[in-house]
Chains A and B, each alone.
Chain A
């Protein structure tokens, strides 16, 4: 019996690889297993190798696994590209149609199963992925009735016959494989708890978090890997009176969101690196006009078009410092799907409370990785609107303006939205006085600039650093952000077994940097490894800049487009001792 399994399906893009993975994982999720799926894809729609690697476990997993138990191959390329990941007792099940060749240097066993032929015989070769699911189920000794519900949901619209045919394909694949295996049953999965849990990608959680956090308008321009956020919200917002506008470009998206926030609705925009580059000037506008704004950046491989469908965390510096001039800005970085939900909702609060741009920094692995999620609780989501005035305002004499930029101790000024009587004031990206009127006076400049920057000095954010710190004095502190969390956690467990006292800090409030939280952890560690998916070590540099101790810090960088695997972190950290 095993309590954890790694399964991968691969073939040519556009061949139904995605749906194979999807059906398999939805069914297993319903049985109560924890899933973690990561898709390897290219920006082509058809053609090119694609695969979907899914980890199944009886406990929560947040990382791709190092190895592989079962490889389902629809072509030889899938075998050639992926077989090295297979365990010694791994299994390849491949479509007999392409006459699969067993690679020499692996102990994994290859079974040729006539996926295509069985499917064609049953009506259409399109169902070959169902046959593959059946064959997989035989290896794992799964009760295939679990697929009935899923197949019904997916093909129900197409009629009962289609549903029945697809189930038949699963059954035939199952029976065929059972016969082949005889009484060999190497990979029997431990039973899961049967609990119903959500199964979603990070972008789903971001979008749901936006809804829960009161977002009622979104303006966006499609881009990988951010589009799912707008696609989800356009389905859900109309029922709440709101909508999504697909704009002509990202500059329009961000400025429209600024206009909407100024107008009084909670509005967001989302994009990836190329779009964020276009939004930079507007981010400064939000900063100087103190207009709330939430931007989601789902990072992907840069620069320029870079690696559009690959994992990277290289926008960090640009998100902290991007836009000319100096503004207050908040950058938060959720490290799990659950946090992506709560943080997006909270970002909408922070934007209104601090009246500044808030960037929610995600990355491709978090945004698109599909996983089982612990229950999300709506009661934990608050709506806080800061110094927004909703009650009647006193009369202002002589056409004076409302002091929208009143200088206050905490730097945050009362805010009104258009339509309010006696609240008229001017808003401009030009330096201005307390009423918003342009002013170039040196004294005013200092007062207003300081007021704005002061706002976020004492920012309240619940968990600026996710800490797993079993040791007061540690041999090693591993630091990361966003989706590296799962791989670091697994590496840490192995390091502990090796006798290396390891602490883990995952930074969630990127800017302003949580120096006070990080300083003791840095001081009490002998060595520090900063794990990040970029080529220059941006997080490590920020850490050095804020807490010093450069001599202790080692950069562990990966920028080949792929997420970190636990063993890579484990090996590199171990080498330091």
Chain B
């Protein structure tokens, strides 16, 4: 059985020292080992950004695609081979700006993959512009007078889009984050995990200390019930989205794969490609 070390490769990440993304990488590696995966059975698909580099730092199959499109690529991979564990990941700009359309639709489609966003409230790779997660008033290179747009609330948005698994974490909480990723992988359907992953270079507001001060653990809220969607929404609103833990899970709804008519149990990637004469004649006859 593989251990988390087997999911390490010998590529040295080019993230800045102290970047939140290191812990996300470690958590994915641990979670993969903990759920009993072998490296070849995991595919990590990522977008473009500092965070997007993550697929190159894990010893598994990996596809580093184009900005904002990790989710459709990942869904394609899963449709091709349902036996693979597929993790999509990227930044807040990747998932909530250029790729927002895909995020909403991946949520409602509910294909059985796990989506991990490294949310640093800024564009890291392009050196510090505003992101859809930047708070109003946030000053960046592209908003020198402070952002005048409202920040997106990804967790609330996920709930309204029909999500079946919604969780949030903080990159320093390695244990909690690992457990959430494990739960996400095991969840039958689309699991969405937003991770506060500080950018130490370009975001001087939403720092490690800032998060420590402002985050509330759901496990500390008495009577919190992640199967209650209404409670989930109210709690998010009350805390301005700054909570960590499993926010909502619907264990009843079937995943996309389970609902596709005729979709084979064996991976499509191993399907027979040749049509036999009889099959073909039947198809042809319909046009006569």
User: How far does the alpha carbon of A12 sit from the alpha carbon of B102 in the complex, in Å?
Assistant: 39
Please indicate the chain B residues that have their CB under 8 angstroms from the CB of A217 in the complex: 76, 79-80, 268
**Is B133 among interface residues, defined by CB-CB distance under 8 A?**
no
Please indicate the chain A residues that have their CB under 8 angstroms from the CB of B81 in the complex: 263-265, 417-419
**Is B277 among interface residues, defined by CB-CB distance under 8 A?**
yes
**Is B77 among interface residues, defined by CB-CB distance under 8 A?**
yes
How many residues does chain B have at the interface if contact means C-beta atoms less than 8 Å apart? 60
21 A–B contacts from the bound complex (CB under 8 Å):
A241-B268, A242-B264, A242-B268, A252-B101, A252-B102, A256-B72, A256-B79, A259-B72, A260-B77, A263-B43, A263-B78, A264-B81, A266-B273, A378-B277, A399-B59, A401-B9, A419-B81, A421-B40, A422-B40, A429-B48, A437-B56
User: How far does the alpha carbon of A259 sit from the alpha carbon of B41 in the complex, in Å?
Assistant: 15
Instruction: Give the A-binding residues of B (Cβ under 8 A).
Output: 8-11, 38-41, 43, 45, 48, 55-56, 59-66, 69, 71-81, 83-84, 101-102, 104-105, 109, 260-264, 266-271, 273-275, 277, 280, 283-284, 287-288
Please indicate the chain A residues that have their CB under 8 angstroms from the CB of B83 in the complex: 419
Please indicate the chain B residues that have their CB under 8 angstroms from the CB of A285 in the complex: 65-66
* Contact status of A241 and B264, CB under 8 A, knowing A247-B105, A259-B76, A419-B81: yes
* Contact status of A264 and B269, CB under 8 A, knowing A241-B262, A243-B262: yes
For B271, give its contact among A196, A240, A282, A376 (CB under 8 Å).
A240
**Is A405 among interface residues, defined by CB-CB distance under 8 A?**
no
- Beta-carbon contact of A423 and B40 below 8 Å: yes
* Contact status of A241 and B79, CB under 8 A, knowing A204-B287, A429-B65: no
- The interface bits of chain A over 204-215 (1 if a CB of B lies within 8 angstroms of the residue's CB, else 0) are 100010011110
Given A212-B280, A259-B79, 9 more contacts at CB 8 Å?
A252-B69, A252-B71, A264-B267, A264-B269, A265-B80, A419-B84, A426-B55, A426-B62, A429-B64
- Beta-carbon contact of B64 and A430 below 8 Å: yes
User: How far does the alpha carbon of A175 sit from the alpha carbon of B13 in the complex, in Å?
Assistant: 84
Closest residue on chain A to residue B265 by CB atoms: A241
**Is A199 among interface residues, defined by CB-CB distance under 8 A?**
yes
User: How far does the alpha carbon of A414 sit from the alpha carbon of B60 in the complex, in Å?
Assistant: 18
User: How far does the alpha carbon of A421 sit from the alpha carbon of B11 in the complex, in Å?
Assistant: 20
Please indicate the chain A residues that have their CB under 8 angstroms from the CB of B55 in the complex: 426, 428
**Distance from B213 Cβ to chain A, minimum over Cβ atoms (Å):** 37
User: How far does the alpha carbon of A265 sit from the alpha carbon of B76 in the complex, in Å?
Assistant: 9
**Distance from A536 Cβ to chain B, minimum over Cβ atoms (Å):** 30
User: How far does the alpha carbon of A401 sit from the alpha carbon of B61 in the complex, in Å?
Assistant: 10
For A426, give its contact among B64, B78, B84 (CB under 8 Å).
B64
- Beta-carbon contact of A418 and B43 below 8 Å: yes
For B269, give its contact among A196, A240, A263 (CB under 8 Å).
A263
- Beta-carbon contact of A419 and B77 below 8 Å: no
**Distance from B158 Cβ to chain A, minimum over Cβ atoms (Å):** 16
- Beta-carbon contact of B77 and A262 below 8 Å: yes
**Distance from B244 Cβ to chain A, minimum over Cβ atoms (Å):** 29
Please indicate the chain A residues that have their CB under 8 angstroms from the CB of B56 in the complex: 426, 428, 437-438
Please indicate the chain B residues that have their CB under 8 angstroms from the CB of A243 in the complex: 79, 260-263
User: How far does the alpha carbon of A424 sit from the alpha carbon of B59 in the complex, in Å?
Assistant: 8
**Is A330 among interface residues, defined by CB-CB distance under 8 A?**
no
**Distance from B227 Cβ to chain A, minimum over Cβ atoms (Å):** 28
**Distance from A228 Cβ to chain B, minimum over Cβ atoms (Å):** 13
Please indicate the chain A residues that have their CB under 8 angstroms from the CB of B269 in the complex: 263-265, 417, 419
**Distance from B47 Cβ to chain A, minimum over Cβ atoms (Å):** 10
**Distance from A435 Cβ to chain B, minimum over Cβ atoms (Å):** 10
Q: Which 7 A-B pairs have the closest CB atoms?
A: A259-B76, A263-B80, A238-B262, A214-B273, A264-B269, A241-B264, A428-B64
Which residues of A393-445 have CB atoms within 8 Å of chain B's CB atoms? 398-399, 401, 417-430, 437-438
Closest residue on chain A to residue B83 by CB atoms: A419
For A264, give its contact among B80, B277, B280 (CB under 8 Å).
B80
Please indicate the chain A residues that have their CB under 8 angstroms from the CB of B71 in the complex: 252
User: How far does the alpha carbon of A421 sit from the alpha carbon of B38 in the complex, in Å?
Assistant: 9
- Per DSSP, chain A at the interface is mixed
- Beta-carbon contact of B69 and A260 below 8 Å: no
User: How far does the alpha carbon of A267 sit from the alpha carbon of B79 in the complex, in Å?
Assistant: 10
**Is A66 among interface residues, defined by CB-CB distance under 8 A?**
no
**Distance from B255 Cβ to chain A, minimum over Cβ atoms (Å):** 14
**Is A448 among interface residues, defined by CB-CB distance under 8 A?**
no
User: How far does the alpha carbon of A519 sit from the alpha carbon of B284 in the complex, in Å?
Assistant: 39
**Is A251 among interface residues, defined by CB-CB distance under 8 A?**
yes
- Beta-carbon contact of B61 and A237 below 8 Å: no
- Beta-carbon contact of A262 and B102 below 8 Å: no
**Is A258 among interface residues, defined by CB-CB distance under 8 A?**
yes
- Beta-carbon contact of A259 and B80 below 8 Å: yes
- Beta-carbon contact of B280 and A424 below 8 Å: no
Closest residue on chain A to residue B55 by CB atoms: A426
- Beta-carbon contact of A199 and B287 below 8 Å: yes
Please indicate the chain B residues that have their CB under 8 angstroms from the CB of A264 in the complex: 80-81, 267-270
Q: Which of A258, A375, A381 has the most CB of B within 10 A?
A: A258
For A197, give its contact among B263, B274, B288 (CB under 8 Å).
B288
Please indicate the chain B residues that have their CB under 8 angstroms from the CB of A110 in the complex: none
- Beta-carbon contact of A198 and B288 below 8 Å: yes
User: How far does the alpha carbon of A247 sit from the alpha carbon of B73 in the complex, in Å?
Assistant: 12
User: How far does the alpha carbon of A399 sit from the alpha carbon of B9 in the complex, in Å?
Assistant: 6
Which residues of A288-346 have CB atoms within 8 Å of chain B's CB atoms? 289
User: How far does the alpha carbon of A238 sit from the alpha carbon of B268 in the complex, in Å?
Assistant: 11
- Beta-carbon contact of A216 and B288 below 8 Å: no
- Beta-carbon contact of A255 and B263 below 8 Å: no
For B76, give its contact among A256, A401, A422 (CB under 8 Å).
A256
**Is A236 among interface residues, defined by CB-CB distance under 8 A?**
yes
**Distance from B126 Cβ to chain A, minimum over Cβ atoms (Å):** 15
- Beta-carbon contact of B280 and A265 below 8 Å: no
- The interface bits of chain A over 53-90 (1 if a CB of B lies within 8 angstroms of the residue's CB, else 0) are 00000000000000000000000000000000000000
For B10, give its contact among A236, A237, A252, A399 (CB under 8 Å).
A399
Closest residue on chain A to residue B261 by CB atoms: A238
- Beta-carbon contact of B74 and A212 below 8 Å: no
Please indicate the chain A residues that have their CB under 8 angstroms from the CB of B102 in the complex: 248, 251-252
